[in-house]
Structure 1
Amino acid sequence: MPGAIQQPVPEIKNLGDGTSQPENKRKIVCFSDFDGTIFMQDTGHVLFDNHGCGSERREVLDEQIKTGERSFRDVSEEMWGSLNVPFEDGFRMMEKTLEIDPAFQQFHQFCIANEIPFNVISAGLKPVLRRVLDTFLGEEASSHIEIVANEAQISADGSTWKPIWRHDTELGHDKALSITEARREAELVCEDGTIPLVVFIGDGVSDLPAAREADVLFARRGLRLEEYCVEHAIKYIPFDTFADIQREIERIRREDAQKTGGKGMPAGFNPRANMWRRMSSKNVVPRFVLMSPTKEEKMFLWPEAFSEVHENAAAAAAMQQTSLTGAA
């Protein structure tokens, strides 16, 4: 690579632009996680295990996130900072290791043909994700996918890998905020008064902040997001490959056409709208989040509530210590 990769954090642009979708169809906008969803492996893990801290240290760091000992952002900075490999060398390792979902390319062509915006939303690094998509899909097909992820500074010799976080939060990238912004954007361009249908596709608990802003949730079968949905009675659609997702979206489109009789959607029609936001509202479900047996869910669902619990616990501990000291 001729020089360091250093790009400013971009604004979200036209993520929800569904203006060109057929008049008698509800506007559909798709968002998908990247690692473990579009690709079966995690791009960061491939790099860390082979060119950075190694798998054993990475597993220790992952556990620190789950227990709440350290934030996702803090741990991620250590992982990315452990890399010492030029971008091209690191990418060659990813190219040899990564496996794409066998039906994703066909699904992506389906989205292009039906003018359904498809966006990647990820806690990873945008330069890495873009290069992977360009290689596995081809640059022309890849150009139809907007990537909402963190930017990066990567030195030419590979001695420095530094994330440029999208948001100043413990997660670094507030996926829920990104989808909320895209939803507003999509609603603005829907001149017929319809409400866009926001679809989210994921695999892990870290996808829940974005999932709670979606109207339809797809969870990869057998992984942590599905387990979590089952445990907490959250409605979702399981999938094995993107072929399952394509069939379901085609069904939704047929339902819309039948209900409207080809005359356009009535204003505000969207039977799934707000379902996930109601189900996961902080006012509605604080109990199971704050009483969760693990801290993994607290961290990813409501980092502000998670921080509040820690602050309250710290304050209580300080008061107890003061009381004991006074008694002595």
Structure 2
Amino acid sequence: MPSLTLPAVAISESLKVSKGSIPSATAQGAEKRDIIIFSDFDGTIFMQDTGHILFDHHGCGAARREQLDEEIKTGARSFRAVSEDMWASLNVPFEDGFTIMKQKLEIDPDFDEFHKYCIANDIPFNVISAGLKPILRKVLDVFLGETQSAHIDIVANDAQISHDGSEWKPIWRHDNELGHDKAASLQEFKAIASSESEDGSVPLIVFVGDGVSDLPAAREADVLFARRGLRLEEYCIENKISYLPFDTFADIQTELARLVQQDQEMTHGSGKPAQYNPRANFWRRASSKKTVPTLSSVRASATPAPGNTFLPVEQNYAPQPTLVS
């Protein structure tokens, strides 16, 4: 688990710093520690769930969705089985469905500034989600602009979506009850990439999340940020996992700068980070300059019926090859 030097409650007090006082990611005159950030999407970058908005307005409806959600919570049915029912209930063209998402979605008020901070400091930011990749990419393109969105890589399920909106079919990354097992995705990274950056130092791995699908990642980062008051934070408290609570990404930006400054003072940016967690090594392997992995997304095996064409899906996931150097 992350070996932070301050308890979560004490650290949260340090987050009450004005945006204007947020320092740069590294101190002048010191080697820069490589930093890689992985983040959930629904409930983390955006306050609402993209799928829930679609189901409530163009599918099974809020009441039925809540019944189906309860089946997942009680273990009566798997996440994948229930999700397939929800997506199958949709009957709306993609662009029309996105119209309601644009109206209802609320991005974290400080995410745009935080992501620009990441770009300015050459910090790769990656999304790992149980959602559908075409939807997530479209949302980021619209809310951030295509140029900024292009700096974010996405690992999620693909989808077949008919142009008339009569069929929405997830193309699952994994053939199991989860559909997209985030832990399995991380193991895929581990198998194909090296664990160290080019200069021999060890990157600092940061994970940001909020809910149930993020639980497998809770023990696997050097620094874990959990949205305050939601399931991931509850899980960390229940299992005594070190974490940092956050209300907005401004909190993360402030705390990240503090942690980097602490690391610079203790390690001068070389070797292992001050917050080193050996269980995060497969994240480091995923982000190495030496071996930059390209993961092929799961592709549709079925041929569309005559006259029924589908929206294209992103065919490859290529993690950003550039680390802080």
2:184 corresponds to which of 160, 166, 177 = 177
Runs of 4+ in 1 over 3 A off after TM superposition: 179-189, 268-271
CA shift, 1:226, in A, is 1.1
What do the CA deviations read for 1:245-297 (whole angstroms, capped 9, x no partner)?
01111112212222234xx503x4554313679xxxxxxxxxxxxxxxxxxxx
Q: Which structure 2 residues correspond to residues 176-255 of structure 1 after superposition, within 5 A? A: 176-182=183-189, 187-188=194-195, 190-255=197-262
Computing the radius of gyration from Cα coordinates, the structure with the larger value is: 1
CA shift, 1:188, in A, is 4.6
CA contact (8 A) 1:183 1:198 kept: no
How many residues were matched structurally?
253
Measured in 2, the distance between the counterparts of 1:67 and 1:228 equals: 17
Decide whether aligned partners of structure 1 residues 234 and 188 sit closer, same or farther in structure 2, where only a CA change above 3 A counts.
closer
1:130 corresponds to which of 106, 130, 137 = 137
Measured in 2, the distance between the counterparts of 1:176 and 1:158 equals: 32
Which has a greater percent of helix? 1
CA contact (8 A) 2:210 2:226 kept: yes
The question of 1:272 aligning with 2:276 is answered yes
Q: Which structure 2 residues correspond to residues 309-328 of structure 1 after superposition, within 5 A? A: none
CA contact (8 A) 1:150 1:165 kept: yes
Higher relative contact order (CA 8 A, sep 6+): 2
Q: Partner letter of residue 144 of structure 1? A: H
Aligned to 1:36, the other structure's residue is in SS state coil
The question of 1:153 aligning with 2:157 is answered no
Aligned to 1:163, the other structure's residue is in SS state strand
CA shift, 1:181, in A, is 4.1
1:55 corresponds to which of 51, 62, 75 = 62
The question of 1:139 aligning with 2:143 is answered no
Decide whether aligned partners of structure 1 residues 103 and 185 sit closer, same or farther in structure 2, where only a CA change above 3 A counts.
farther
User: What are structure 2's unaligned runs of at least 5 residues?
Assistant: 1-28, 282-325
Larger CA deviation: 215-224 vs 228-237: 228-237
CA contact (8 A) 1:207 1:225 kept: yes
Q: Counterpart of 1:13? A: none
TM-score between the two structures when normalised by the length of structure 2: 0.73
Q: Counterpart of 2:172? A: 165
CA contact (8 A) 2:220 2:277 kept: no
Measured in 1, the distance between the counterparts of 2:151 and 2:247 equals: 24
What do the CA deviations read for 1:196-229 (whole angstroms, capped 9, x no partner)?
2221111112211122322211110111111222
